[in-house]
Amino acid sequence: MKEGNAISRRKFMIMTGLACAAVVSSSSIGSLLKPAVAEGAKKPEKENINDVLKKFFGDRKIEMSHVKLKTPIIAENGAVVPVTIISDLPMEKDNYVKKIYIFVDENYHPFTASAELSPANGKAALALRIKMRKTSNVRAILETNTGKLYGAQKAVKVTIGGCGG
């Protein structure tokens, strides 16, 4: 190939990008690259936290004690909010925490996570990262093997891009 006909790598990339953009915008391929949302589709309906709690626990009373919930006051990224739950409840053969539930009030579906425990765990504790749609209360509810419920709740502010929005 003669030197006069050679094009630079940069020019080749620009020309290829422009050609692809022209093909995509003028053909039905463009519709393949758009988000797959049905026409007329609406946002999911947000579940009410009280209805969700009633569905999970019925009319049982949740005693707000014996649970320490550690969350950030401000979460700079709602996609990875660190949460730690620790309880001083016993983990003995006939008296133990059998399940830990986490709820985020303002998520479309407030039930976020759960973990099953046994006395072999030695301590009722759980650390994880959760997703939060926006500023909300985070709730941790522990259920014992006898059916008693204990809980804690904290407000967590979710910023947009870490800018306090």
Lowest-pLDDT range of 6-10, 28-32, 107-111: 28-32
In this structure, the number of other CB atoms found within 10 A of the CB of residue 35 comes to: 4
Report the pLDDT averaged over residues 59-85. Answer: 95
Residue 79, domain extent: 49-158
In the chain, % of residues over pLDDT 70? 80
List the alpha helices (DSSP H) in the chain: 9-26, 29-32, 49-57
CATH number, position 133: 2.60.40.2470
Cβ count near 83 (within 10 Å): 23
pLDDT in tens, 99-108: 999 999 999 9
Q: Does residue 53 form part of some domain?
A: yes
Q: Is residue 115 one of the residues assigned to a domain?
A: yes
As for how many domains the chain has, the answer is: 1
Please indicate whether residue 118 or residue 29 has the higher confidence score (pLDDT).
118
